[in-house]
Amino acid sequence: MAAVLDDLLATLAATPLVSVAALHKRHGHREVLRGVDLELRRGEVVALLGRGGAGKSTLLRCIAGLEGFHDGTLSLQGRPPPQPGTWRRAVGWVFQGLHLPPDIGLGWHLMQSAALADRPNAAALAHELLARVGLAELFDALPGGLTAAQRQRAALAHALAPGPTVLLCDDLTSADDPEQAGEVGAAARALASDGLALLLATHDPALARHADRIVFLHDGRVLESGPPAELLARPQTPELKRLLATQRPAPHRRSAWSAAPA
Ligand SMILES: Nc1ncnc2c1ncn2[C@@H]1O[C@H](COP(=O)(O)OP(=O)(O)OP(=O)(O)O)[C@@H](O)[C@H]1O
C-alpha cells in the first residue's frame, strides 16, 4: 500500500503544473499563437520573454482559462482546463499596475482576500505572505507610500492569498527600471516552492535573468529556450539578438531586501 502511495506521489511530483503543446490561437484571421509548447514544473520560475505583440498575454489568458484556443492541448496538473471563463482557484494572476485599494493597509487587504477565498487563519496567512515578499513590516502601510517595486511585491502577495499553485505574471516591470526588475525577480524566486510555480511574461531581460528558464516567444512561436545565463549570453536567433541589443540586461545587483525562506 505504502509503495502504491509512493508511486502515486512520485507521479504527481513529476507531472508538470502546466503543460502546453502545439497551441494555436487566432484573433480574426491573424494567428497569434502558432504552435506553442511550454511546460511549467513545480517550484520553477519561467520567464516568457518577448517583444510587445509576441503573444505573451494571449498565452497567459489561455492558461488562465480566460480565453479558448483553436488547436493544440493545454493541461493543468495533468487535467484538461475547464471552459473559458470558469473560475479556477489553482491559477493566480498578477499584472503591472494592479489596483490596490488606496485606503486599506496592505495586510488588511490581504486578510480580506484570503477570507473571501475561505482560507483558514486569514490574519496569520496575511502576515506570512507579506514576509515572503519582504514586506513584513508594512502590514498597515497604505499603497500610496510604496515604491513601484514594493507595489509589485504587494501585488504578488495579494495574488497568492487564494492559494494558487500557478502564478501568471504579466509585464510586472518596466524595462527602464532595473532596480525594480531586481526586486520583483528576487521576490518571484523567493516565492517559488514545491507547491507553486511562476510564469513571468516580460519584455524585460533584467527580470527574465532571475528565472530558472527563459522561453523566448516571437510572433507567436517559441524560437529558443534555456537557462538565463546561457540564453542571454549566447542568443542563437537574430530575433533574440535584436531584443537584447535594444534592452540590455543591467548588471546583476543584489536586491535591497532578502526574503524569508518559502
Ligand atoms: N482581443 C484581441 N483581438 C484582436 N487582436 C488581439 C486581441 N488580443 C491580442 N490581439 C493581438 O494579438 C497579438 C498578440 O497580443 P498579446 O497582447 O498577446 O502580445 P504581448 O506579447 O502580450 O504584447 P504586450 O507585451 O504588448 O502586451 C497582437 O498583435 C495583438 O494586437
Q: How many alpha carbons fall within 13 Å on the CB side of residue 139?
A: 13
Measured from the Cα of 59, ligand 1's closest atom is 18
Strand partners of residue 20: 38, 74
Amino acid at 67: E
Q: Indicate if the alpha-carbon torsion angle 59, 106, 126, 114 is positive or negative.
A: negative
Contact 56 CB / ligand 1 (< 6 Å): yes
Contact 25 CB / ligand 1 (< 6 Å): no
Nearest CA, atom 13, ligand 1: 53
Amino acid at 146: L
Q: Looking at the predicted structure, is the pLDDT value of residue 253 above 70?
A: no
Answer whether 92's CB lies under 8 Å from 161's CB.
no
Termini Cα distance of the chain: 31
CB neighbourhood size of 176 (10 A):
11
Q: What is the C-alpha to C-alpha distance for residues 148 and 165, in angstroms, rounded to an integer?
A: 25
Nearest CA, atom 24, ligand 1: 52
Strand partners of residue 18: 40, 76
91-142 pLDDT, tens digit each:
888 876 667 888 889 999 999 989 988 898 999 999 999 999 989 999 999 9
Contacting residues for 92 by C-beta, under 8 A, at least 6 apart: 159, 160, 162, 164, 166, 167, 168
**All 3 cell numbers of residue 31?**
494567428
- Ligand 1 centre to CA of 191 (Å) is 28
Answer whether 36's CB lies under 8 Å from 20's CB.
yes
Q: What is the C-alpha to C-alpha distance for residues 174 and 220, in angstroms, rounded to an integer?
A: 22
55-83 pLDDT, tens digit each:
999 999 999 888 889 999 999 888 877 66
ipTM: 0.95
Q: What is the C-alpha to C-alpha distance for residues 248 and 205, in angstroms, rounded to an integer?
A: 7
